[in-house]
Amino acid sequence: MSALYDLVGLAENLHEPEPPLNHRPVAFGLIISLMVVSVLCACARLYVRFKITRCPGWDDVFVILSVITGTSLAISVLVGFDYHMGEHLVSFLTPDPTSIEDFIKTIYVSSALYTTSTTLIKIAILLQYLRVFAEKSRYRMAAKILLIIVALWGSAFSFVSWFPAFPISAIWDFANTSAIRFGFSSLNPNETLGAYLALSATNMLLDLAMLAIILPYLVTGVVASNSRLYMTCLVLVGVIINLVSLIRLVQIIQSRGGTYPNLDPTWYLCSPIVLSSLEVSLAIVAASLPVFWPVLKHNCGHIFVTTEITVTQEDSQARDHKTAWEEMHPWSAGPDPESQTGTGSISPQRKRSTETDRETLIGSRGS
């Protein structure tokens, strides 16, 4: 414990510019908005799978689990701001030394949920790959191999994230000197940094590997033209996710896991924690887009209306004879003078020639 607390006060960092994600309104706006979007996208995906195509699969099960853990992650990050996240450690540790425990509890839950969420969403996307790739294709084989790697990777890191100390209370109870601590809860700052770097770096490499599988599949033209657009959108969202992961990794390296140049985890780890929530929300969107986007695109056409006009031709004599009728009945088609009977009935020929406008929905024509 002394090795960790020896880093307190090594450098004066109270005058550092505040990172944008340390601002509570900025962080809340991004986290809540992306969380809502991800939940809506997941609901749209599940609606299509269960109600329209009626072909749910295991990938949908893992999407549901990732939504549960991803939403819990977002909520835990938001709660962390009530326990001094985004503030300097010395600003609240001096008057109340025990207040750091609440922050450590929230960061423990957030880190564990992040690891679990990323594992679940990766498995969901890879299972979705298996539904797309043809049997015995090299893409399908690569997806199966990567699925096994992700499952093993996620199981290992999820375990060390949820159980970084025995007993669990030793994570925030520094008075317990007999506890076993390792990885993310180690009192050795170098060991803690190594755990964060191992998780972040391997997570980003797995994301890149998942992109590497789908990119050749798109380039070679195997994907149908109507599927290429939303598969391309999936790749673009995947690139954004990798950029977020890269920024998060760089920030962790720069602050050495919140310990450099000063032990200030509430200040230096705020941005990486917020980015972890944004990353998971974007991943849920990426997993949901390819399923509901084609249905959404098809049904958007139903809101447009087209008008078809039939033009008929009449001779000048017929127009002269019907002028009097139109003046007396401006909203009526009127009888055809050449076929008008004594009772003023309208001939069938005239009825057919006066039917002009017809409105139809584009969607009624079929796809």
Set out the domains of the chain in order of their start, with CATH numbers.
2-302 (1.20.1070), 308-365 (no CATH)
The band of 114, judged by pLDDT with boundaries at 50, 70 and 90, is very high
Average pLDDT of span 324-353:
44
Percent of the chain past pLDDT 70, that is, above it, reads 72
CA distance 74 to 287: 18
Most confident of the following: 156-160, 171-175, 206-210: 156-160
Bridge partners, residue 167, by sequence: none
pLDDT tops 50 at residue 190: yes
Q: What is the pLDDT of residue 27?
A: 96
Average pLDDT of span 199-218:
88
pLDDT tops 50 at residue 72: yes
Give the strand pairing for 357-361 and 180-181.
unpaired
The band of 135, judged by pLDDT with boundaries at 50, 70 and 90, is confident
Question: DSSP secondary structure string, 221-271?
Answer: T-S-HHHHHHHHHHHHHHHHHHHHHHHHHHHHHHHTTTTSSS--HHHHSHH
pLDDT tops 50 at residue 113: yes
Residue 320, C-beta contacts closer than 8 angstroms, at least 6 positions apart? none
Residue 27, C-beta contacts closer than 8 angstroms, at least 6 positions apart? 21, 77, 78, 81, 86, 270, 274
pLDDT tops 90 at residue 160: yes
Residue 79, C-beta contacts closer than 8 angstroms, at least 6 positions apart? 106
Q: What is the pLDDT of residue 126?
A: 93
* Residue 192 · residue 259 · CB < 8 Å: yes
- Could you tell me which residue, 116 or 298, shows the higher pLDDT? 116
pLDDT tops 60 at residue 337: no
Average pLDDT, the chain: 79
Residue 198, C-beta contacts closer than 8 angstroms, at least 6 positions apart? none
CA distance 199 to 182: 14
Q: What is the pLDDT of residue 314?
A: 52
Amino acid of residue 141: M
Give the max Cα distance, the chain.
114
Average pLDDT of span 229-235:
70
The band of 151, judged by pLDDT with boundaries at 50, 70 and 90, is very high
Q: What is the pLDDT of residue 9?
A: 53
Tell me phi and psi for residue 172, to 5 degrees. Answer: -110, -10
Q: What angle separates helix 58-80 from helix 100-132, to the nearest 10 degrees?
A: 160
- Could you tell me which residue, 27 or 224, shows the higher pLDDT? 27
pLDDT tops 60 at residue 19: yes
* Residue 350 · residue 333 · CB < 8 Å: yes
Q: What is the pLDDT of residue 142?
A: 92
Most confident of the following: 294-298, 303-307, 309-313: 294-298
> Where is average pLDDT lowest: 162-166, 235-239, 264-268?
235-239
Q: What is the pLDDT of residue 115?
A: 96
pLDDT tops 60 at residue 96: yes
- E-strand stretches of 107-177: 165-166
Closest to 128 in 3D by CA, of 111, 150, 99: 150
Omega of the bond leading into 265 within 30 degrees of 0 (cis): no
Q: What is the pLDDT of residue 62?
A: 96
- Could you tell me which residue, 29 or 55, shows the higher pLDDT? 29
CA distance 267 to 342: 96
pLDDT tops 60 at residue 351: no
CA distance 315 to 48: 56
Omega of the bond leading into 17 within 30 degrees of 0 (cis): no
pTM score: 0.77
